[in-house]
């Protein structure tokens, strides 16, 4: 199946998201900070990135902008998965180049559907 990168600084959130994604047989990679997520994405070129927004070193918006400016990663679909749930955050996330925006706590059907759509292009 596909290679999915989860970028989230919360081990509990990462575990929960991993459990949902692995049901569909995807290979799951993880990074616990924005900086390590950026490095992992450049090195492994995953098929989809599930990106938290609020992280201590580099937020998800910043990471996504850097991914979009790099030739090797600019086409990788990014799905924001965040506790930030107001309309401004959703719109801003989409303007940064995300293909979807999902709020936490994650609805497993919604996440699996977003990943499926991102993989379909």
Are 63 and 40 spatial neighbours (Cβ–Cβ below 8 Å)? Answer: no
Model's pTM, two decimal places?
0.96
Tell me which residue has tokens 């938290």.
52
Q: Which domains are assigned to the chain? A: 3-120 (3.40.50.2300)
Rounded Cα distance, 9 and 37, in Å: 10
Rounded Cα distance, 109 and 86, in Å: 21
* Radius of gyration, alpha carbons of the chain: 13
- pLDDT per residue, tens digit, the chain (121 aa), is 899 999 999 999 999 999 999 999 999 999 999 999 999 999 999 999 999 999 989 999 999 999 999 999 999 999 999 999 899 999 998 999 999 999 999 999 999 999 999 999 8
């Amino acid at each position: 199946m596909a290679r999915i990168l989860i970028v989230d600084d919360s081990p509990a959130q990462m575990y929960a998201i991993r459990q949902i994604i692995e049901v569909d047989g995807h290979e799951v990679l993880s990074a616990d900070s924005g900086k390590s997520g950026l490095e992992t994405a450049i090195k492994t070129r995953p098929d989809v990135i599930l990106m938290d927004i609020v992280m201590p070193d580099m937020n998800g918006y910043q990471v996504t902008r850097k991914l979009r400016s790099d030739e090797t990663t600019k086409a990788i679909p990014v799905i924001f998965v965040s506790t930030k749930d107001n309309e401004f955050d959703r719109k801003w996330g989409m303007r940064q180049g995300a293909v979807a925006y999902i709020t936490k706590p994650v609805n497993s059907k919604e996440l699996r559907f977003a990943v499926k759509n991102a993989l379909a292009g």
